Amino acid sequence: MFYPRKTPARWPALLFLTLTLGLAALPGCGTLPGADSADQQAGRAAFALQVHVDDEGIRDYLSEHLELQRFRQLPDLQDQELARLLGAADANARELLATLGYFSPDITLRLLDTPAPAKDEPPRTVELTLRPGPRTHVASADITVSGAPDLARRQAQLQRNWSLAPGEAFTQQAWDEAKTQGLRGLQARRYPQARIADSRADIDADNAQARLAVHYDSGPAYRFGPLQIRGGERYDSTRIARIALLPTGQDYSQARLLDAQQRLAASGYYDAVFLTLDTEGPDPQAAPVIAQVRDAPLQKLVFGVGVSTDSGARLSMDHSHNRLPGLGWRAVSKLSLDNKRKLASTDWTALPSSHGWRWFSGVQLQREATGSFEVDSSRLRAGRTQNSDHIDRSYFLQHDMAHNRGPGAPPWASAISANYGWTGRYFNNNNAPTRGWGLAGEIGVGTTLRPARQPFVRAQLRWQSFIGLGRVDLGDRVSRDSRLALRLEGGAVLARAGADIPVTQLFLTGGDTTVRGYGYRSIGAGINNGQTYGGRYMTVASAEWQRPITLRGNRTDFESATFIDAGAVADQPGQMAARVGVGAGLRWRSPVGPLQADLAYGLQSHALRLHLRLGYTF
């Protein structure tokens, strides 16, 4: 057996001490001759790079992307290595210029020594002088599609929407973007498996022309199959799937898939939702949609702080219970307090049936400044509602009670009514529309209960439309629509002259979303001594010109708006007197929704008001 010999401990200690002293002495080498010169060169660039060309954009592009830039800060770069880099610089510059559409440039490279360079000045300068020559433009663009049943129509659509059209300047970036945009157009509807089968850009450098050709393989056409919810355990996934309104059996549409995802995410049952089309299945005509979800808590309490130009600072508390014991309904209860209103409410909603209808009920208690009076009111409502892709319907019974406070206030009144509501939304985006229209109507038939029974009919109609006025060029082949936003609203309560209708069934207008330039619900019917109260007839009209904004030639997410609003409320049609507001404002496409800020002047109130609003609802 071999045993290693033990080394006395004093030898390792002596060796360690020697090494330590030697390492400590190394910094002293800086005092040797030539050390200062090495330190000076360590912080000095190997050479300076200068690009001489008339076009500032080309100069900046080459200065940033030339391979030479990577080696400028190497202080020990040898002459032989620099010569090799200069030899490759010509080809590198031509490559970069080609991506910008310049295929016949005249390039000159020179290496100059710097006489008596300063301490931090590079000893050499590389000068690149060039004349880029004519820029290449697109002569033709040939787009073909194979595999699609609707071949001719889709091919014509791609050709019509092709972003790099004949006559435009050719660049590699524009070419790549055009191909990708065409592919996304195919993948967005019916053909999620579409791909670029072949693409070619033939460059005629002598004539500065580019002939483009791209061939797309559409792949099979897909239709939506059933929605399968995975990951959720707490709630009834079969019935919740109906909230998504996925158009099973219809052609695949990326927009409809995202709409279904948004509906599930907004349902309150899930904290996270992600929908994908299963393209691995055997039947593209019934491809399942997989919803990966994460359950939301059974109960949730949310505290909020906000501010509104209509009602000032606001405090709120929202409580949701996603499965009420015994019923299985979802309950959302709310407490809210601001300068104009104190509100307590709870709304209960069932899951949809197989036909999409769901039961709902709600109770609301409120104290609000209404016209010239403080009004304590309550509302009880119960009925059924159905939400489809574009249309919402509901019918319900409603009980209203209103107690008016203040000198000369109308009497305490209550009423019961049967109502039907219909809303159709045909916008390109329900949360931030720029095209399309919407129409909503509600009609109710009822009777007052207190102080006396009198029949009445209440009707209300709203309309909104966005009309394109042409496109505004924002540069870099980007343009956006300017548009005219038109809005109309009208309402009427038909009853005997002496009927005491609860003010919650009458009309008031004015504020951020109705007639700007006037206070929140400050336009009403005139009663005793110039006091304002809800009226039986109401009309509102608005016209707004919305236009994209560029700043110093750069596109932004802001738009300008110029508008005129008008509204009137009265107890008799002949007494209607319009209140008009005019103004201008800004729109911002913020990450949380459209934000609008408007400054409006009321022609009758002679007041200038600021109006702020986040989000859009119709």
pLDDT (0 to 100) of residue 474: 52
Specify burial of residue 424 (Cβ count, 10 A radius: 0-12, 13-18, 19+).
middle
Please answer whether residues 392 and 385 qualify as being in contact, where contact means their C-beta atoms are separated by less than 8 angstroms.
yes
Long-range CB pairs of 169-173, under 8 A, 24+ apart, other chains included: 169/101, 169/135, 169/136, 169/137, 169/138, 170/101, 170/135, 170/136, 170/137, 170/138, 170/201, 170/203, 170/210, 171/99, 171/100, 171/101, 172/98, 172/99, 172/100, 173/99
Query: Do residues 114 and 122 touch, judged by C-beta distance below 8 A?
Result: yes
State how beta strands 478-495 and 537-551 pair.
antiparallel
Could you read off the pLDDT of 458-483 as tens digits, one per residue? 999 999 999 998 766 655 555 567 89
Beta strands per DSSP E along 8-162: 48-52, 106-113, 124-131, 137-146
pLDDT under 70: residue ranges of the chain: 1-43, 471-480, 528, 552-555
The pLDDT value recorded for residue 384 is 97
For the chain, give the percent of residues with pLDDT over 90.
58
Query: What is the per-residue pLDDT for 122?
Result: 81
Bridge partners for 532 per DSSP: 526
CATH of domain 137-217: 3.10.20.310
Residue 411 is given by DSSP the state P
Say what the pLDDT of residue 210 is. 93
Q: Quick one: fold of 224-295?
A: Ubiquitin-like (UB roll) (3.10.20)
pLDDT of residue 550: 75
Nearest residue to 565 (alpha-carbon basis) of 597, 524, 517, 614: 517
CATH fold label, 352-614: Porin (2.40.160)
Bridge-based pairing state of the strands 48-52 and 137-146: unpaired
Q: What is the CATH number of domain 43-131?
A: 3.10.20.310
Tell me, yes or no, if the two domains 137-217 and 352-614 fold the same way: no
Percentage helix, strand, coil for the chain under 3-state DSSP, each rounded to 5: 20, 50, 30
Neighbouring residues of 488: CB distance < 8 A, sequence distance ≥ 6: 461, 462, 463, 540, 541, 542
In this predicted structure, what is the pLDDT of residue 68? 84
Q: What is the pLDDT of residue 16?
A: 34
Q: What is the pLDDT of residue 303?
A: 95
Average pLDDT taken over every residue of the chain: 87
What pLDDT, on the 0 to 100 scale, is given for residue 223? 95
Best CA proximity match to 508, nearest among 531, 532, 527, 488 = 532
Burial class (CB in 10 A: 0-12, 13-18, 19+), 563: buried
Q: Give residue-wise pLDDT tens across range 343-374.
A: 999 999 999 998 889 999 999 999 998 888 89
Task: List the domain boundaries for the chain.
Answer: 43-131, 137-217, 224-295, 352-614
